[in-house]
Structure 1
Amino acid sequence: MTDSSRHVACVGGIVYDPVGRLLLVRRANDPGRGLWSVPGGRVEPGEDDHTAVVRELFEETGLTVRPGALAGVVVRGPFHIADYHCELAPSSIAVPRPGDDAADARFVDLAAFARLPLVDGLTEVLRGWDALPRS
């Protein structure tokens, strides 16, 4: 059992484009600088998880999303990360653009996903949640 007062609350978004490619960002800062992961970040004071997911994904990718169900939770060091399935909002731009803490942002298919340097454990976690790229 984890004591949430000792952890930094974070969120992430699992987003697919219309052909089933998964949205990833290359982290510009530590932890994981230079590695690819799902976009997300810290929950700010006064935010609920869904508000934080919308803000973080917009800041990191320029995309507007609608969060849905919780995919799962990962604890990495001091970070308690709740990852949510998200849909692109109809008004969202079609191509992600990196911003904020992201050095790059793109939708990737399964072949590209397998070639990228990923944050530790990402493949296993996404596989367990049935959330790998669908194309």
Structure 2
Amino acid sequence: NTLPILAIGIGVGIDYGIYLLTRICEEYQGAAKKDVGAAIRISLATCGKAIFFTAALMTIGLLPWYFLSELKFLSDMGLLLVIVMFINMVLALILLPLLVYLIRPRFLDSDMTGLSESVEKRPQIAVPA
């Protein structure tokens, strides 16, 4: 019975990692000097704040489920979800940047423009009439 709760928590945690990795790749590719450490610092200052804020709000919003539920199982599931989401946030903000810094994966140099929106204007493709 705990599987759906864990699936929700882990699914949200994976999203945190995807957001941060995409931002690290964008910062790394946009820099004139290819410095992984600087890309990680900038990414944590921007996307990391958003991850922390989102995770904190979701955790605080789910915490009353533990205290207000009269059913023991639902109370335990609320606590489990809060713990899983908190652990996901910590791992996304600490372990993931550390692994990127130590391993320096090849995908940092790959083209990520299709995965994210850019503020730069792209040329319009002419559609034949």
Shared topology, TM-score over 0.5? no
> Which is strand-richer, 1 or 2?
1
Q: Which has the larger radius of gyration?
A: 2
Q: Report the TM-score, using the length of structure 2 for normalisation.
A: 0.23
> Which is helix-richer, 1 or 2?
2
Q: Report the TM-score, using the length of structure 1 for normalisation.
A: 0.22
